[in-house]
Structures are given as C-alpha cells and as structure tokens.
Amino acid sequence: MAEEMEKKPKYTAIVLAAGSGTRMGSPVKKQYMELCGLPVVVHSLRQFEENPQISSVVLVTGKEDLQYALSMSLKYELHKVKNIVEGGDMRFRSVYNGLRAVDPDTDYLLIHDGARPMLSQELIDRCCREVAIAKACVAAVPVKDTIKRADKEGFAAETLDRSALYSVQTPQAFSYPLFVEAYRKLLHTIQEYHPDVSKITDDAMIVEGMTDRKIRLIPGDYRNIKITTPEDMLVAEAFLQWKNTLES
Ligand code: CTP
Ligand code: MG
C-alpha cells in the first residue's frame, strides 16, 4: 500500500506597514515612499509573491491606508495578499491584528517589516527551512560596531562583548500554534500586570517571555536594512541598483 503523502506545511507571511515613520519624517510614510520605481513595501511583497513556499500574505496597514493598500495590491498583482487589515498603535498590536486574519490552517508564520525592502529569496527559503526545525527563528547579523552601554549621565558604563552581539532583522518565523500561545499569554499578562509594552520591539521577545521555546538566530543579510532615516533610502537604492546590474 502506498505510504500516505505527508502534508506540505503551509507558510503565511504577515507584512507590517502600519507604522507612522516618525524617524523618517517624510510627508509620505516610509513604507509607501518610492524606491526604484516601486513603493518600499511592494519590494518585499513581491519577494513573498515569487516564493513558492509562501501560500498567503496578510498585509497590515494604517486605517487611513487600507484603500490605498488594496489598490496597490491590485496594481502590482500581488495575488497572495489575501487580507489587508488595520494595524495598532504599537508594533505588537499590529502583529496581533495580522495574526487574527491568518488562516488557522497555517503551520508557520513569517513576520516581516514592510520597511525592509531588501528581502531575498534565499532568506525566505532559509527561514522556511529553519523554522520547520527550530519552531522559532529570527534573521540576525553580527554587529559590526563596538557597543557600549551608557549610564544615566551619558558616560560609557560598560563595553559589551561584541562576539556575542547580533542585530536582529526580520523575517522572524514561528510555528503558528506556538505564536498563538505566546500572544494569548501576553494578552493575559497585560490585563493582569500592565507591563511596559512599549519595550516590545520584536516578535521573538514575546515568544521568549511567554514560552520556554528558544529562538534560533539564523544568518540574516547585511543588505536587509530597515528603512528608518532618510539616508537609508540612498543605501537601499544603491543595493537595488547593484542587484539589477548583477541580474542583467
Ligand atoms: N509597524 C506597524 N505598526 C506599528 C509600528 C510599526 O506595523 N504600530 C511596522 C512599520 O510599518 C515597519 C515595522 O513595523 O514596517 C518596523 O517599525 P519601525 O521601523 O519602527 O517603523 P515606524 O514605527 O513606522 O517608524 P518610527 O519608529 O520611526 O516611527
Ligand atoms: Mg517604530
């Protein structure tokens, strides 16, 4: 008798584009600024669109941009963008709103900053491969600078051991049931203790704090920068032009 075919795991991406971009300070929000002819967020949406492992994408935007995001997904033929949902006032709330729109049939989630346009197929593939093993993994690169901790007066208090320090990027990938459990616990904790939720700057922190699961750091990419301040646009443009020359 033929062996039963193993079900192919289902990967869903949540792409976050609901921030207000205060550090960029531009009239158009950074995730919608034009970068080499496309809105910043469309660059990573296209990478998910092209990747055969990704079944669907949930796009999280500001309430005022829902309509724009819909026309953008039609214009650029982003067929995998099945849901466009309203974000929240903090990143983790935007993730939560995205999470509620995820098909419960999903096995693994890849959460990605819409402000990181330099996502590559290799990095998506690596996340998909590693999360199936580790259940929780984040793209990270070794820091290049020496990092010091400052005291309250602005003096160097301590130099950290650089060999153990990483800059964390996205995608951050998790098993779907694990991530749902972490969020359920987080929401309970918030109701009971009012912790300082403004300190939550990535998704892995929630899984670290709420479950026993260890987060695997997997190789990210120095090119996978987050557009944060105006000069980042120049850097991203240079990377994209370089990539185009390599491909043509
Ligand atoms: N983000 C979000 N919802 C929020 C805050 C952030 O979806 N409430 C998204 C941003 O759109 C971005 C990613 O999370 O793609 C990373 O956040 P960050 O770089 O901090 O973007 P902003 O919060 O928009 O920028 P700033 O902190 O300078 O205001
Ligand atoms: Mg922010």
Note down pLDDT in tens along the chain; length 248 residues: 555 677 899 999 999 999 999 999 999 999 999 999 999 999 999 999 999 999 999 999 999 999 999 999 999 999 999 999 999 999 999 999 999 999 999 999 999 999 999 999 999 999 999 999 999 999 999 999 999 999 999 999 999 999 999 999 999 999 999 999 999 999 999 888 877 888 899 999 999 999 999 999 999 999 999 999 999 999 999 999 988 888 87
Judge contact between 210 and 170, C-beta under 8 A: no
Token duo for residue 117: 């346009």
Distance of CA 7 to the CA centre of its chain: 26
**Top mutation candidate among 14, 15, 20 for ligand 1, by most atoms within 8 Å of CB:** 20
User: 46 lies in a domain?
Assistant: yes
Token duo for residue 59: 């796009």
User: 191 lies in a domain?
Assistant: no
Q: Which CATH number do you get for residue 96?
A: 3.90.550.10
Work out whether strand 81-86 and strand 216-219 pair parallel, antiparallel, or are unpaired: unpaired
Q: What is the DSSP letter of 153?
A: T
For residue 205, how far is its CA from the centre of ligand 2 (angstroms)?
Answer: 15
The range of the structural domain enclosing residue 34 comes to: 11-136+168-176+216-247
User: 116 lies in a domain?
Assistant: yes
Task: Name beta bridge partners: 148.
Answer: 159
As a whole number of angstroms, the distance between CA 105 and CA 96 comes to 17
**Domain total of the chain:** 1
pTM to 2 decimal places: 0.96
As a whole number of angstroms, the distance between CA 139 and CA 101 comes to 24
User: 35 lies in a domain?
Assistant: yes
**DSSP string over 49-85:** HH-TTEEEEEEEE-GGGHHHHHHHHHHTT-TTEEEEE
As a whole number of angstroms, the distance between CA 42 and CA 184 comes to 31
The ligand whose atoms approach the alpha carbon of 203 most closely is: 1
Count of residues in the chain: 248
User: 185 lies in a domain?
Assistant: no
User: 187 lies in a domain?
Assistant: no
User: 199 lies in a domain?
Assistant: no
119 lines ligand 1 (CB under 6 A): no
User: 141 lies in a domain?
Assistant: no
